[in-house]
């Protein structure tokens, strides 16, 4: 409300969209003119799905205000979007690619924009939209209020804030560990060749309750989708290679509970808001802790209960331990009856037992001196080329 630049972080499902839309509408209603519509606020989001979600929220909140909102996004006809732009809008919700096209073609005027919001900024960086964002901001008027929102504040987000935001106020409502603490976590060790079979059994044990399954690659999503179809599980799939209409249909079927399972890649699922989703399954373990946090954030939203199941092959043990360490989790690794492990288990180093003095924080200085002297002697011998007999 004071016009200060903001770097905001809060876990998924806590109302970040409302947190920036309501003050924005309050500000705009004082300055918008009915007969002279110009773009005054720009909200940039990484995916078509998030553009839809944010746009719906703004339209709902501005129902009784003379404020017009539109989407500039891929997957829809440019002509329809340009027609609406000519009619006049106050707020544009845009994906970077299509917005950059409109700027290049001189089809949109951003010189009156005084509020710019980057939502799910970390995802935009992951998708490589930094160049587009820089070019877009050059076409906006100066000075302007900028706000950057994300579920987590990573090092990349801090770099982004340093480059574009002026002395921002940092508001971190909760850290990423809060996301996982309210959720019931389970992990199952499984042979790689039987992952799909175990996933299908877990889904069938849900008694019809909905499940969002995350995979790392598009081809894995398609293969799992076909496998679930063969098992007569009502399933939809969502990833970047599916056209706009197909993605919208998949989401609609899942949200209306006409399909039990939605299989998705991380990027395609960013920004998806599914109320009261009871279960998330990590079919593939994500490469980063932040991606794990985003996945987990799809369930247990707005204080509803939720659970997460992670499937682990022998190649995932160390990576999952690292995620547990970062999030201060301790998830028991179970083996589902009938899915006993046959893959050769990796050799894991046993932790050395600490001596009593080490546990108490005491150091054996004599022993330390002996080690230091031996190390120095060895170093001198190596320098002189003397080999130990």
Structure tokens at 310: 């992670």
Structure tokens at 2: 């004071």
Assign 181 to helix, strand or coil: helix
Domain identity same for 148 and 196: no
- Residue 265, domain extent: 177-334
Among 311, 334, 357, residue at a domain's last position: 334
Domain identity same for 188 and 296: yes
Instruction: Kindly state the DSSP code that residue 313 receives in the 8-state scheme.
Output: -
Domain identity same for 150 and 208: no
Residues with Cβ < 8 Å from 87, sequence gap 6 or more? 37, 68
Task: Characterize the bridge pairing of strands 307-312 and 6-9.
Answer: unpaired
Q: In whole angstroms, give the CA distance from residue 209 to residue 261.
A: 9
Check residue 163 and give its pLDDT: 86
Check residue 248 and give its pLDDT: 81
- Flag whether 160 is in a domain: yes
In Å, how far are 65, 128, 204 from 212, measured between CA atoms? 36, 26, 13
Instruction: Kindly state the DSSP code that residue 109 receives in the 8-state scheme.
Output: -
Domain identity same for 229 and 288: yes
Domain identity same for 192 and 299: yes
Domain identity same for 218 and 169: no
Domain identity same for 93 and 181: no
Residues with Cβ < 8 Å from 332, sequence gap 6 or more? 186, 187
pLDDT tens, residue by residue, 1-53: 899 999 998 876 678 899 999 999 999 999 888 878 899 999 999 888 889 98
- Flag whether 188 is in a domain: yes
Candidates 301, 253, 252; CA nearest to 277 is 301
pLDDT tens, residue by residue, 363-387: 454 555 555 666 677 767 776 665 5
What phi, psi does 350 have (nearest 5°)? -80, 135
- Whose tokens are 């900024």? That residue is 121
Prediction pTM value:
0.64
Among 116, 147, 174, residue at a domain's last position: 174
Let me know: does 200 contact 211? Beta carbons within 8 Å. no
Candidates 241, 270, 245, 237; CA nearest to 77 is 245
Domain identity same for 168 and 183: no
Domain identity same for 206 and 239: yes
- Flag whether 374 is in a domain: no
Check residue 389 and give its pLDDT: 47
Check residue 240 and give its pLDDT: 81
pLDDT tens, residue by residue, 264-281: 998 766 667 777 888 999
Q: Which H or E run includes 202?
A: helix 195-204
- Flag whether 163 is in a domain: yes
Torsion of CA 295, 247, 279, 214, to 10 degrees: -50
- Kindly give the parts of the chain with pLDDT less than 50: 349, 362-363, 365, 388-389
Give the CA diameter of the chain: 94
- Flag whether 284 is in a domain: yes
Task: Work out how many domains the chain is built from and give that number.
Answer: 2
Domain identity same for 170 and 301: no
Burial track 217-238 (b if 16+ CB lie within 10 A, e otherwise): ebebbbebbebbeeeebbbbbb
Check residue 47 and give its pLDDT: 86
Check residue 375 and give its pLDDT: 67
Domain identity same for 142 and 228: no
- Flag whether 366 is in a domain: no
- Flag whether 363 is in a domain: no
Assign residue 226 the CATH number of its domain.
3.40.50.300
Domain identity same for 239 and 318: yes
- Flag whether 285 is in a domain: yes
């Amino acid at each position: 409300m004071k016009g200060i630049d903001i770097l905001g972080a809060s876990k998924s499902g806590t109302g970040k969209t409302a947190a920036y839309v309501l003050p924005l509408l309050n500000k705009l209603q004082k300055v918008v003119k009915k007969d002279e519509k110009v773009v005054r606020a720009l909200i940039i989001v990484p995916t078509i799905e998030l553009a839809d979600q944010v746009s719906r929220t703004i339209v709902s909140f501005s129902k009784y205000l003379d404020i017009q909102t539109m989407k500039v996004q891929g997957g829809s006809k440019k002509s329809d979007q340009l027609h609406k732009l000519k009619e006049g809008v106050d707020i544009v919700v845009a994906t970077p690619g299509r917005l950059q096209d409109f700027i290049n073609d001189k089809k949109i005027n951003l010189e009156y924009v005084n509020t710019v919001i980057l939502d799910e900024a970390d995802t935009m960086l992951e998708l490589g939209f930094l160049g587009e964002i820089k070019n877009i901001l050059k076409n906006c008027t100066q000075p302007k209020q900028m706000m950057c929102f994300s579920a987590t504040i990573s090092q990349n987000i801090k770099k982004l804030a340093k480059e574009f935001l002026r002395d921002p106020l940092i508001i971190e409502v909760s850290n990423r560990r809060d996301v996982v603490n309210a959720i019931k976590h389970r992990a199952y060790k499984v042979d790689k060749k039987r992952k799909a079979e175990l996933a299908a059994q877990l889904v069938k044990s849900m008694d019809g309750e909905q499940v969002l399954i995350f995979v790392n690659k598009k081809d894995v999503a398609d293969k799992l989708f076909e496998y679930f179809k063969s098992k007569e599980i009502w399933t939809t799939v969502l990833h970047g290679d599916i056209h706009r209409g197909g993605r919208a249909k998949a989401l609609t079927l899942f949200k209306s509970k006409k399909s039990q399972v939605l299989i998705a890649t991380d990027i395609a699922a960013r920004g998806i808001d599914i109320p009261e989703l009871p279960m998330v399954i990590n079919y593939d373990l994500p490469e980063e802790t932040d991606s794990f946090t985003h996945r987990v954030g799809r369930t247990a939203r707005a204080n509803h209960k939720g659970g997460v199941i992670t499937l682990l092959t022998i190649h995932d043990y160390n990576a999952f331990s690292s995620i547990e360490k970062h999030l201060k989790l301790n998830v028991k690794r179970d083996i589902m009856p009938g899915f006993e492990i046959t893959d050769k288990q990796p050799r894991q180093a046993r932790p050395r037992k600490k001596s009593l003095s080490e546990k108490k924080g005491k150091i054996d200085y004599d022993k330390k001196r002996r080690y230091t002297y031996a190390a120095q002697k060895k170093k001198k011998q190596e320098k002189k080329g003397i080999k130990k007999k």
